[in-house]
A and B are shown apart, each in its own frame.
Chain A
Amino acid sequence: MDIARTLLKMKAPGERKPDFERFRRAITTNEPGPVTVGDIFADFETVGNLLNEPVMDYLKLAEDPDLKITFKDLWSGYKYVSQTIRFCCLTGWDYAFAFSAIPFKGVSVQISENTSSEVEDGKRGWLNDNQGPIMSWDDFERYPWPSNIKAINAVSRTMAKRVPDGMKVMVIPGGVFEWTTWLMGLVPFSYALADQPDLVDAVIDKVNGLIHQVVEDIMSEPKVGGIFMGEDLGFFSGTFVSPKVLREKFLPRTKEIVDLTHEAGGVFVLHSCGNMYAVMDDIIEIGVDAKHSFEDKIMPVEEAHEKWGDRIGIIGGVEMDVIAQGTEEQVRTRTRKILEACASKGRYVLGTGNSVANYVPQRNYLAMLDEGRKWNLENFGREY
């Protein structure tokens, strides 16, 4: 902890207070001010690495198909809540992130080793695009749909009760498109769009209904600030499915969740990788407050901010390739360029191009944060 604080040049606890309203202002207004920081999440290993202590490995639990949770797991889970809060406080986030992932049984995840440059036991889960637990009406009828909404929200709720004053929780429930394609498998889902569109609609309705319940339940917590929906709609050259299908089948459902979040006083942030810009205007139209995840190869964040930064908050954009493999100097240069172009005009939050993944070297993540503080000091006379 002390090492991390030294590296981060953090002030003593209590001097720099998290303030969720600062984050809300940063994504919903163009008011000038010091840039704040955030991402959709940090990997478990990243949190552990920064705090220099073990953090519960959820991937290991997910490897067990029967998911037997022991008392030790429960204790580690409880500890994980405070570890996440400490990570977010130390790194200067105004919110803590919490997963309210719906435990859809049978979603096919394969685990691979050695994808991390930063931690010894780095692992990564990969979805199997070629199959899913619901590929037919029979599968659909027999599927054990999760129903215990309180259990799904347990970690998020615990976190909301434990965050320090000023901080709120951004809850990550997963998105309608992602869960639907994961449940069906991207390839069988693609065939079903042509062969069994009614099955696709039925899965979407079920998924959306569950996300709706999860969001409705968790947004009743006063210290939940909003929803950070992970919903990858695109790949390098375009959206996975046509904008027409997104407009007809998915975006209206997402709008329901956006509205629900707003009615409860929260903000709605969409994390969407890939070239999904064909529907960017639609995303703005349905009321999304901010968009996260940008890739230089597709559209540098500066360009996105220039195009849409007066209508929607823009979060992150420090290219993953640079932050994962670049030198500290390269990270600082890229960060500075983004700050000059985006933060100076407002409606921008500093962050990575995707997430604080376990393969992001700690020194580079800290360099990005430090550059943000330097920029704040130069432009506003204070670090935060």
Chain B
Amino acid sequence: MEQLKELIMKGNAKETVERVRKLLEGGSDPGGLLQEVMIPAMDEVGDLFQKGEYFVPEMLVAARAMQQGLTVLKPRLVASGIEPIGKVIIGTVKGDLHDIGKNLAVMALEGAGFEVIDLGTDVAPERFIDAIKEHKPQVIGMSALLTTTMLAMKDTIKAIEDAGIRGQIKIMIGGAPIRQEFCDEVGADFFAPDSTAGRNYARNVVTGEA
């Protein structure tokens, strides 16, 4: 088990897959593997990223190892009736095509056991609204890179309010130009300075702590 955690943290995808397979063949509980090994491994990766000890490449290779390990684990999880801990819809706002920050957030959330619906980049408010109605998530994440494109967050939140579904969801925002004052001004619920903070907030939402 400890070895699997190490393999994920070091981003060794091939050996992660092998190790998950062997542990399952050896009778390990799929839910236990996910909850007690793989999610804590990605948690630690996120924490190291937040502390400035891991960087974008380390985060990406660890997430790749996690994802490949999950492809082996998922059928067994489904068979055991284990569900994601919550649902998040995420996207880069209209007019903005930058997505590395958003992708890091997706990885952190998936690594924490969330189902993430990634709407991609340049997402118009209507697409957020349609996705909320369709998927009924607990949390919405919005990202922007520029001081000009972040203004689309305000329009999106307004559109969600006008659609009468604001009360159903919590909204977190992040990106290079975002600050707490902007978060307060546009009426978002949380400013995530990095992907780990976003992951922690989403967890707090589903456990009722936020």
Interface residues of A (CB under 8 A from B): 110, 112-117, 124, 126, 129-130, 186-187, 189-191, 193-194, 235-242, 245, 274, 278, 295, 297, 320-321, 324-325, 359
Contacts and interface: CB of A to CB of B under 8 A. Distances in A.
Interface in B64-118: 64, 95-101, 103
B56 A186 contact: yes
Contacts of B179: 297
B27 interface: no
Chain B: interface size category: 20 to 34
Given A190-B57, A190-B61, A126 B52 contact: no
B98 to A, nearest CB: 6
A187 B97 CA distance: 15
Contact of B57 (A113, A116, A241, A274): A241
A196 to B, nearest CB: 12
Contact of A187 (B55, B100, B122, B149): B100
B123 to A, nearest CB: 12
A171 to B, nearest CB: 26
Contacts, number: 83
A320 B57 contact: no
Q: Mostly helix, strand, loop or mixed at chain B's interface?
A: loop
When A and B form their complex, which 10 residue pairs have the shortest distance between CB atoms, in order from nearest? A190-B57, A126-B97, A190-B60, A359-B148, A129-B100, A321-B147, A242-B55, A194-B61, A324-B147, A193-B57
B193 A320 contact: no
Given A112-B95, A237-B193, A320 B55 contact: no
Contact of A238 (B55, B148, B176): B55
A115 B93 CA distance: 12
B112 to A, nearest CB: 19
A359 B147 contact: yes
A191 B61 contact: yes
B55 A241 contact: yes
A129 B177 contact: no
Given A190-B61, A194-B57, A241-B56, A115 B177 contact: no
Contact of B64 (A110, A117, A191): A191
